[in-house]
Chains A and B, each alone.
Chain A
Amino acid sequence: MNRPDPPAQDQSSTEMLNAIPQPGAAEPQGIASPTPTLPEAPTDRGRRVTVKDLNAYYGKIHAVKDVSLSFEPNKATAIIGPSGCGKSTTVRCINRMHEEIPDAYARGTITLDDQDICAADVDVVSVRRAIGMVFQKPNPFPTMSIFDNVAAGLRLTGTKSANLHDRVEGALRRAGLWNEVKDRLKAAGIGLSGGQQQRLCIARTIAVEPEVILMDEPASALDPKATLKIEELVDTLKERYTIVIVTHNMQQAARVADYTAFMLGEGGPGSLVEYGETDKMFTNPHDTRTEQYISGKFG
């Protein structure tokens, strides 16, 4: 087999993009189809992430098999599926957090616009600054105050910021938390309620000004009221960023996401079953398994 071409060349990138399933396709197909043109994004933030033939392993265990999909700029894409189908693993490969687990590795191509993020000469730190992540369980730093938590992203990445206070305030405003904490910025970060802590983590993530935000079941540990706040937040955030949200709650996907990807494990490695616009997929899915999952027959 030939070695794959270096992704920096324009030719191969276009071919790769054309081979990715576009919204509406049921299965990944090898037929080249032109990339649909999307309206210009309102800001220059939010870039497209393209995943091609992703295979992820934990040692000998094959967790994710041949997943190919794209995440459209300034849109929210949900990944749904039953537990253990590889949703979180897929998403963790996108910001290369998968590598942090000993014996874990991934094969395949992931590009941010046209740049291959898994290339050997790409600094993983710069990838993570462009692609941020919010975790399932809120994890503010326990030794830091609310202000320091939001500023942590800037300090940990070594960004010297003259207007640190402004940036922290901006991030807290965009996360919808400013009014609740503006009087107690020096209080401990872990003293907030669960929902507030998660919004604090979101503020921390957006303070670094990423382009893509990955959310791994961000509201699953929260009560319904806090969940609603997070969902409203996703709606406002997607104007500035590209959002990928993993959720096992189908109604949440229906409420929040523009596109949805359905993954299934079936006892073996997880793979992509269907990917399309959320409305179409929920009302008229192509695959019978998708239809069964959505109508609650399993999962």
Chain B
Amino acid sequence: MSALGPISTRRRLTDKTARTVVLIGAAIALIPLVLVLFYVLKRGLGAFLNVDFFTQDPSGRFLGNPGGIRSAILGTIEIVGLATIIAIPIGIGLALYLVEFGKNSLFARVVRYFVDVLSGVPSIVFGLFIYITLVVSGAISGFAGWKGSIALSLLMLPIVTRASEVVLNLVPNELREAALALGSPRWRVVARVVLPSALPGLVTGSLLAIARAAGETAPLLFTVLGAKALTLNLGDQMNSLPLQIFNDVREAQDRLVDRAWASALTLILMILILNVAARFVSRRNRFA
């Protein structure tokens, strides 16, 4: 029978070293996040005090009132909104096919592979693709908000699909078995049992995709181009927050650069609000 004694010094040292290393790693990872948030708040918060910032469109004037970013905010909401409506049902549907029906068949494996390839495509390529096919070609040439939405939805699709596939795979198989054993047709099992169980994860995946799309500039440069005046018609060139930031930050005037920072802060806050709202809605559907 061995004697019971205290932890050896060597083990104690190893434990402390490991803990310190992990803590330092976490701190290093957090530093950029904290710095970005701090800097954006510091340089952008000032413009929030002026209510014109939200109620006026950028005037484009060199001297005088530079205006606000109203058209950019509404443009982002519209363009990303349409992209969401396109990408999320298709993305979740694709994930449902891969998990529930395709499983490990050859076709499903091919689809999965291509979705992975798509997730690695740089966003500017999506912009160029839509540019070539929809903007400079024949009958429907020209820049428009909805073309930007399509480019963004191509970007969002692999993110939604991959995140949804992971979450759907996490639904325990015994739930599907229970529903099938009751004599439920397959589609009802998916709609009434699998999807409700996976809902919080699906929401998270969708939010990730929306946040990513809302900040992309390159696709919009080639498809929407930008505008200053407010327009709610997706068939026109529109303004949007990333485009607004892109234009303002290169200006010589300090106040315009400040406006760029404030636009960045607005974008972050919009996504935050969306995040909180979506979590609130999905939590009410489940039991605690």
Contacts and interface: CB of A to CB of B under 8 A. Distances in A.
Given A102-B104, A135-B178, A155-B192, A125 B287 contact: no
Interface residues of A, number: 33
B192 A125 contact: no
A102 B177 contact: no
Contacts of B287: 142-143, 145, 188, 190-191
A97 B196 CA distance: 23
A128 B185 CA distance: 10
A126 B185 CA distance: 9
B184 A157 contact: yes
Nearest to B197: A143
A156 B181 contact: no
Contacts of B183: 125-130, 132, 153, 156-157, 208
B284 interface: no
B177 A139 contact: yes
A199 to B, nearest CB: 14
Interface in A63-111: 95, 97, 100, 102
A100 B177 contact: yes
A204 B175 contact: no
B182 A143 contact: no
Contact of B181 (A132, A140, A155, A158): A132
A139 B178 contact: yes
B188 interface: yes
B258 to A, nearest CB: 48
Interface in B164-215: 172, 174-185, 188-189, 192-193, 196-197, 199
Contact of A204 (B104, B180, B182): B182
Contacts of B193: 141, 152, 156
A171 interface: no
Contact of B192 (A135, A156, A188, A191): A156
A242 interface: no
A208 B197 CA distance: 22
A139 B184 contact: no
Nearest to A126: B183
Given A135-B174, A137-B174, A102 B103 contact: yes
Classify the interface of chain B: helix, strand, loop or mixed: helix
Interface string A138-174: 0111110100000011011110000000000000000
Contacts of A102: 103-104
Given A102-B103, A155-B192, A188-B287, A133 B181 contact: yes
B181 A152 contact: no
A99 B274 CA distance: 43
Contact of A156 (B172, B189, B286): B189
B174 to A, nearest CB: 4
A140 B193 CA distance: 11
B203 to A, nearest CB: 14
Contacts of B197: 141-143
A165 B172 CA distance: 29
Contacts of B179: 141, 152, 156
B108 to A, nearest CB: 11
B174 A125 contact: no
Among B178, B183, B196, B285, chain A packs the most CB atoms within 10 A around the CB of: B183
Contacts of B182: 128-129, 132, 152-153, 156-157, 204-205, 208
B177 A125 contact: no
Contacts of B185: 125, 158
A97 B188 contact: no
Nearest to B189: A156
A189 to B, nearest CB: 9
Q: Which of B174, B179, B197 has the most chain A CB within a 10 Å cutoff? A: B179
B184 A156 contact: yes
Given A139-B175, A143-B286, A95 B192 contact: no
A95 B175 contact: no
A157 B176 CA distance: 14
A204 B286 CA distance: 20
A127 B199 CA distance: 30
A158 B188 contact: yes
A256 interface: no
A204 B285 CA distance: 22
A234 interface: no
A112 interface: no
Contacts of A145: 287
Interface of B: 103-104, 172, 174-185, 188-189, 192-193, 196-197, 199, 285-287
23 contacts: A102-B104, A126-B183, A128-B180, A129-B182, A132-B181, A132-B183, A135-B181, A139-B178, A141-B179, A143-B197, A152-B192, A152-B193, A153-B184, A156-B179, A156-B182, A156-B189, A158-B185, A158-B188, A191-B287, A201-B178, A204-B178, A205-B182, A208-B183
Given A95-B181, A141-B179, A157-B188, 14 more contacts: A97-B177, A100-B180, A129-B182, A135-B181, A139-B178, A141-B197, A142-B287, A143-B285, A153-B184, A157-B182, A191-B287, A201-B178, A204-B182, A205-B182
Closest 3 CB pairs of A and B: A129-B183, A156-B184, A128-B183
